Chains A and B, each alone.
Chain A
Amino acid sequence: MLSKKSTVSFHGTEEQEKALLAVIEELKDEKGALMPIMQKAQDIYGYLPIEVQTMISNHTGIPLEKIYGVATFYSQFNLSPKGRYQISVCLGTACYVKGSGDIYNKLMEKLGIVGGECTADGRFSLDACRCIGACGLAPVMTINDEVYGRLKVEDIDDILAKYE
């Protein structure tokens, strides 16, 4: 399940809201406007929390559920913000056979979130990704631009401790 209300509180600015309303105003009478509006909203806010989806709903008349349905159908839409440290675990074939699934599960357990979510303190967000081209180092994960290879489940605590 990647669809949950974000546990990170929403901090939208007036500028962001103005930008979103301008986008809606420009697109709302076009057929099939919802997806482009959602994409631009994500560009503005970085993700699509209930507050943003509700704004889109109120200003387009499109039911909130319809927007949410689209947001949870396409993996490109994020319902949670990205953390200060973005963890990305490779679940591509090579990493997966080398046990990256266990790493991913352990991270979910440690952080108390599921893939696609962000911890309540905004520190870590977790995603699964496909091959990053470092199969020789499998299993691999990245935290922001740092690459960690030949991972073992036991390594995770020490790695996470490096990020405050």
Chain B
Amino acid sequence: MENINLTINGLKVSAPAGSTILEAAHLAGIRIPTLCYLKEINEIGACRMCIVEVKGARNLVAACVHPVNEGMEVYTNTPKLIQARKKTLQLLLSNHDKKCLSCVRSGNCELQQLCHEYGVEDENYFEGEANHYELDTSAAHMVRDNNKCILCRRCVATCEKVQGVGVIGANNRGFDTFIGSAFDMGLGETSCVSCGQCIAVCPTGALYEKDYTDQIIEAIADPEKYVVVQTAPSVRAGLGEEFGYPMGTDVEGKMAAALRRLGFDKVFDTDWAADLTIMEEAHELLDRVQNGGVLPLITSCSPGWIKYCEHYFPDMTEHLSSCKSPQQMFGAMLKTYFAEKEGIDPAKIVSVSVMPCTAKKFEIGRDDQNAAGVPDVDIAITTRELARLIKRCGIEFTALPDEDFDDPMGESTGAGVIFGATGGVMEAALRTAVETLTGEELATLEFSEVRGTEGIKEASYNVAGMDVKVAVASGLNNAKTLLNKVKSGEAEYHFIEIMGCPGGCVNGGGQPQVSGDVRNFTDVRGIRASVLYKNDAAKTIRKSHENPAIKKLYDEYLGKPGSHKAHETLHTSYVKRTIN
């Protein structure tokens, strides 16, 4: 592509034609501050933080949307700009509650960071009328605090464009503008799917998950309770970011050590249950293929996707695998199999999960998720909450040794760990399904066609003389595109993996927040996913059906995949919902 030559702060810069000033500056190592800009998602030039001076231009221009021209002279840090940005920040603060001390985002708030950088010494410079909003706590998974909202609309754009949901938007006009739902419904009354992608992109503390860290501390302190924790694959790929490790650091060993020091009675791994999910789901797939069941079969691991399907594709719920998600399978086995084995009353067990996901908070309250007559999982926290818990309890994370998970529900394979990346469940299922169908060992375990961070991937494999067609989608707008193709008959598949969040769980709504500055120029999904693929490659056992702890579970308790007992404990049902 043709390159454009310009100067930024006197430096000669060459950038591809069509680049914005912001992108060209990034290439030259110059950071221009942003608050509303999200690459390809929210390019509206509204917050006025990225303003720059362009020689000959009448006004200050927004670098995030202004394209570069040949010979352009750009200045990004003149006294005029610094004063203008500072004033913009002060104006934002004039209608902001400024309660930084008690704010969940204090320390990684993008507004706070910019106020610090620009030396905003008087946060009440423009004191005057301010809006006061009640918190929206109606959803199971999150809170909206519009007193901290700066109307950047990142959440709105993400909900509509990335997730194809669009239950939040700007209501009213001018000073009365606020982000909310239609007819002032609480988020919990809408068809919000609980994915939490809005939280992931919020620059301030206006959106945050419902925090259950105190309940965990209390449960651990209660001698009557037996408190067990499970951690999803993606948590180990993200948690390190909260403790200063570079993105893409695997902190599995330190995480297990930290959980043990927090006082959990058992430190187990959701990866174990991921292997179990594969056993059940691969069996379900083979059963549907061989016995004329409803196809394509669609995965059911992602509770955001499940809720989306129930609201937006209610006529397709019979395509969903009846398998519970790994989180729920784990909880079910904990309170039946493990409880019986150890002679513990399931009512005394507190089943805690650490998830990269906010929809898991919704999932634990679903019907038909209580194998032992009590909820399979009692408390689901996000990766961010776990980091908070570790800090609150004074555990020096970086100084911890690497430790292993406990037996038996801590033993897992490489197939289980890749669940956290888009295509991972598909690959894990294929490893087991192909070997089951052919009765032969796979020469290579990598199904590279379904790897990578593209939104929709398709592949076809010849297995025992039959063409098995598969597709993988992540991000619900991609899921919508794919499902509409299936509905119209334009595409036919046997098996589809869908993950609610773009890139899969590694980029889940409960993962450490990545500021816009970093997110816009970093392949967050790819870097975090690489942790899981490396973890898989380093494992000696990489196929779910070879997990000795899972084999033992079937021998001792479940019989075989798809057995009556497995159905009673590991499978669930769905409902049809409406769009609000």
Residues of chain A whose beta carbon lies under 8 Å from any beta carbon of chain B: 1-5, 50, 53, 57-58, 63-69, 72-75
19 further A-B contacts with Cβ under 8 Å, apart from A3-B172, A5-B183, are A1-B172, A3-B183, A3-B184, A5-B184, A50-B183, A57-B579, A63-B160, A64-B580, A65-B168, A65-B182, A66-B160, A68-B171, A68-B181, A68-B182, A68-B183, A69-B170, A69-B171, A72-B172, A73-B172
User: Could you say which residues of chain B place their CB within 8 Å of the CB of A5?
Assistant: 183-184
Complex Cα spacing A86 to B172, Å: 23
A to B contact number (C-beta, < 8 Å):
54
Of the listed residues A4, A57, A64, the one surrounded by the most CB atoms of chain B closer than 10 A to its CB is A64
The smallest C-beta distance from B131 to any residue of chain A, in angstroms, reads 11
Contact with A along B539-580 (1 / 0, CB 8 A): 000000000000000000000000000000000000000011
User: Could you say which residues of chain B place their CB within 8 Å of the CB of A68?
Assistant: 169, 171, 181-183
| Chain A CB within 8 A of B468 CB | no
| Chain A CB within 8 A of B99 CB | no
Asked if residues A63 and B184 are in contact (CB atoms below 8 Å), the reply is no
The smallest C-beta distance from A72 to any residue of chain B, in angstroms, reads 5
Asked if residues B184 and A65 are in contact (CB atoms below 8 Å), the reply is no
The smallest C-beta distance from A53 to any residue of chain B, in angstroms, reads 7
Contact with A along B155-179 (1 / 0, CB 8 A): 0000010000111111111001000
Closest to B168 in A: A65
Name 6 interchain pairs, CB-CB below 8 A, sorted by A: A5-B183, A63-B166, A64-B182, A65-B168, A65-B169, A74-B173
User: Could you say which residues of chain A place their CB within 8 Å of the CB of B190?
Assistant: 65
Complex Cα spacing A66 to B184, Å: 12
Complex Cα spacing A69 to B184, Å: 10
Complex Cα spacing A68 to B167, Å: 10
Of the listed residues A66, A68, A69, the one surrounded by the most CB atoms of chain B closer than 10 A to its CB is A69
User: Could you say which residues of chain B place their CB within 8 Å of the CB of A72?
Assistant: 171-173
The smallest C-beta distance from A30 to any residue of chain B, in angstroms, reads 20
Partner of A63, one of B167, B170, B172, B183: B167
Closest to B176 in A: A1
Complex Cα spacing A67 to B170, Å: 10
Closest to B160 in A: A63
For the complex of A and B, list the 4 residue pairs with the smallest distance between their C-beta atoms, beginning with the closest: A63-B166, A68-B182, A69-B169, A64-B182
The smallest C-beta distance from A70 to any residue of chain B, in angstroms, reads 9
